[in-house]
Amino acid sequence: MSKKLHRLELKGWLSEYCDARTLDFAVYSPYHMRIMDGGYTVFDVWTTGRYYVLTTDYFELNPNVRISERGGEKGLLPRDKKELFEWLDRLFYAAGMEE
């Protein structure tokens, strides 16, 4: 059985990201966290670096821009802090970036 590697810096980075952007940050366990923006985007992340986008609602945020919704998306987060913050901005603010 392989042992999972945990990225212990993620909790601090995600907390910093949310504080700077007034997003909600919840810690459900030492390994599981969630970022929410008031109901339009809900994003789960684990200290292993894996993520799951529960839902996005870009259409509700900006009906004039056609963006593919990302609900159900799974993957691995970028390992670099700057790249991670840019990646999260594209997730949470896509509806405003496309105009």
- Predicted local confidence at residue 96, as pLDDT: 77
CB 83 within 8 A of CB 89: no
CB 55 within 8 A of CB 42: yes
d(CA 99, CA 86): 17
- Predicted local confidence at residue 36, as pLDDT: 97
Residue of 38, 95, 37 whose CA lies nearest to 62:
95
Handedness of CA 16, 49, 76, 45 (dihedral sign): negative
Using one digit for the tens of pLDDT, what is the confidence trace for 42-85?
999 999 999 999 999 988 888 888 889 999 999 999 999 999 99
Query: Which residues have C-beta within 8 Å of that of residue 18, sequence separation ≥ 6?
Result: 24, 25, 35
pTM: 0.90
